[in-house]
Structure 1
């Protein structure tokens, strides 16, 4: 009986992880299919980049009120609705005759995107139990990281071989299949803490919590910095590594392999060394971008290697930050995650917009420099935040703070 239960739990975690993979791959399609979308929709590269910015803005605006609105929903139902929205969104995008319809298609999944990410980590934690919440988050958010690592190069390769419309159809089909898998493997999961206290007063408490505020500040810094460069990674590869077409896809696959290795190492250290993993993410981004600036376009081979190494800290961003959110709050995790999602989407929107501005001004090195600066500032925040400390260290820091206050 235990073996059967454990097997079902494992399949449920894999189903949720697959949905995470699809969600993030869909979100980042404009990154992977930038030239194909621009040509097919008769739009500029910067306009396609705005599909990322607009998506992020909609998520940031809608996530908190929608999380409050769906507080009493069964969590499995919530996940299913949002994953189905992703499938429908991509089907509409594949049929889009113009840029305006493409924008509308993106909005369909953007509305539910934040709600999905607000519930998926708490769902995983409930499947394995609070004592293994970090491991559960790492397993499910592996789909997030793998999407950034492999979803992008795979979409890029499919786009260059099949065309962007068939590629988006494939993604819609896989999204629908992942919804079926969630329905088959995840038991009904009634919402926790679905009381009147789940409203505005609870939201205000979550927003003003100092530990969560530090995590959210780190999130904005790291994600803004990362997406300032990452949204236009194909342009960076072309300018710095001098690769285009299928060679770009090959480098992105290498990027994915390096990121997978980094994710495995981070996953093992996440619960025992949370601050070290946070420092690795922030510091790793800064070091890689500083290396790119130092090497410049004149060192194509070395710059390509740095792009691959960039994947190690980048692939761990979601896992490390979401685990910090769950670590910082034992209750109202859906609400805490929704505020974190807002911070994440603000970072994406600002980063994609800023990177697009630099690209339009033919100032790509400024995008790389912005990523480095954001990583360095995030290092300082992580170093001082109790949310990234191990449990024993957090108790010690809290006692020290109380003595200092007294």
Structure 2
């Protein structure tokens, strides 16, 4: 596909970023609407939590075979089908008469989730050109960051104000609208030559997937319970917690901009900034123990955290012979890291040992730093 005019390319990238925003907001709706869904379906809150766990498991299990199945599809078509699946999923959830139908609705979106995230970064790279793949990834992944900063709080507020069913319908409408905009602004993108599974699993990618598994496990061991960390380390609760989370989100957007600008020219330096930065913030939390410094560490934590997906996805695109299949394997590593990290952090919290979760995050950051430093996937192009 040709790189179009700057204005058209910008609109196309914005459309893909908006689809990322909707995808992440939809994925995390059970978090934003936890009490409303539990009451609406007459189930416990842990049962609603299973809508998240099951989603992640379906993505991890299905992404590789589904990406292999759709590998010859036009990339725009693949994106449209998966975004449409988000719309259908939320429409089904909004009218679900009971919990079983809600589970089915979540499975619809989960089946397309991995395919969408395996193609969206590669599509952005084709729009801007291969030499700016990292920046393109940062642009579309801004939708991810905005989903946590705005999408989830807005969904929670709407759920409490107008009810959870109209809120879910709103997300369905947003997904449908983003699909229409992608169809109007992104030109057809024929699939590239198909290389077989081995092409997705060349040696250069194994360290990237290992670093992904390690750093994502560490990050989510702490991030899943960030409100508990704020309460225990920074001694903030109520509105002060919301204010600190907002500052965390703003810092994340800043980190995304900075890392997006540097990832193409200095891939190793930016990757090391992400992994070592995570470790440094966790160490500061452990050393300071409490107070203003701990609060500052929570905010600064967002700077490297925002770049995790960018530097790792850019590394995949940099060395993969078939980006879509390689991205699918990377997504599996990412999803396993999320589940493992949340499990480790939950166990620590359940035993009253939250600092252990923070220590795990610090150790994982250091281990990932060592892997990144030795991997050829993060070498400068020159």
Report the Cα offset of residue 172 of structure 1. 2.1
1:178-193 matched pairs, under 5 angstroms: 178-193=178-193
Partners of 1:225 and 1:379 lie apart in 2 by 12
Q: Given the superposition, is the C-alpha separation of residues 34 and 51 from structure 1 closer, same or farther in structure 2, using an over 3 Å criterion?
A: same
Select which of 255, 263, 267 maps to 1:262. Answer: 255
Residues matched between the structures, number: 381
Question: Is 1:295 aligned to 2:263, yes or no?
Answer: no
Report the Cα offset of residue 336 of structure 1. 1.0
1:1-80 matched pairs, under 5 angstroms: 5-34=5-34, 37=37, 47-80=47-80
Match of 2:221? Answer: 228
Select which of 337, 340, 348 maps to 1:358. Answer: 348
Select which of 174, 195, 204 maps to 2:198. Answer: 204
Select which of 351, 354, 371 maps to 2:361. Answer: 371
Report the Cα offset of residue 244 of structure 1. 4.5
Match of 1:346? Answer: 336
Match of 1:335? Answer: 325
Match of 2:370? Answer: 380
Report the Cα offset of residue 391 of structure 1. 1.3
Partners of 1:94 and 1:239 lie apart in 2 by 37
Match of 1:402? Answer: none
SS at match of 2:210: helix
SS at match of 2:5: helix
Contact 2:3 2:9 in 1 (8 A): no
TM-score normalized with structure 1 length:
0.85
Q: Give deviations 1:300-350, integer Å, cap 9, x for gaps.
A: x44333222211111111111111111112x31111111111111111122
Contact 1:31 1:232 in 2 (8 A): no
Report the Cα offset of residue 165 of structure 1. 4.3
Partners of 1:121 and 1:75 lie apart in 2 by 11
Q: Give deviations 1:253-277, integer Å, cap 9, x for gaps.
A: 2111111111111111111111111
SS at match of 2:193: coil
Match of 1:321? Answer: 312
SS at match of 2:204: helix
Report the Cα offset of residue 157 of structure 1. 4.5
Partners of 2:41 and 2:287 lie apart in 1 by 36
Partners of 2:134 and 2:4 lie apart in 1 by 23
Select which of 287, 296, 309 maps to 2:300. Answer: 309
SS at match of 1:391: coil
Partners of 1:99 and 1:293 lie apart in 2 by 41
Question: Is 1:280 aligned to 2:273, yes or no?
Answer: yes
Structure 1: state its 5+ residue gaps: 393-406
Q: Give deviations 1:124-182, integer Å, cap 9, x for gaps.
A: 12222223222222222222233344434444444555554444333222111111111
Partners of 1:231 and 1:100 lie apart in 2 by 26
1:103-142 matched pairs, under 5 angstroms: 103-142=103-142
Report the Cα offset of residue 243 of structure 1. 4.2
Match of 1:395? Answer: none
Structure 2: state its 5+ residue gaps: none
Q: Given the superposition, is the C-alpha separation of residues 228 and 322 from structure 1 closer, same or farther in structure 2, using an over 3 Å criterion?
A: same
Q: Given the superposition, is the C-alpha separation of residues 96 and 287 from structure 1 closer, same or farther in structure 2, using an over 3 Å criterion?
A: farther
Q: Given the superposition, is the C-alpha separation of residues 366 and 40 from structure 1 closer, same or farther in structure 2, using an over 3 Å criterion?
A: farther
TM-score normalized with structure 2 length:
0.90
Q: CA RMSD in A?
A: 2.6
Identify which range, 255-264 or 19-28, moves more after superposition.
19-28
Partners of 1:116 and 1:80 lie apart in 2 by 9
Contact 1:90 1:172 in 2 (8 A): yes
Q: Given the superposition, is the C-alpha separation of residues 270 and 356 from structure 1 closer, same or farther in structure 2, using an over 3 Å criterion?
A: same
Contact 2:137 2:260 in 1 (8 A): no
Partners of 1:192 and 1:353 lie apart in 2 by 38
Partners of 2:43 and 2:232 lie apart in 1 by 21
Select which of 208, 214, 220 maps to 1:215. Answer: 208
Q: Given the superposition, is the C-alpha separation of residues 44 and 278 from structure 1 closer, same or farther in structure 2, using an over 3 Å criterion?
A: farther
Q: Give deviations 1:173-223, integer Å, cap 9, x for gaps.
A: 2111111111111112221114xxx4xxx213422x221111111111111
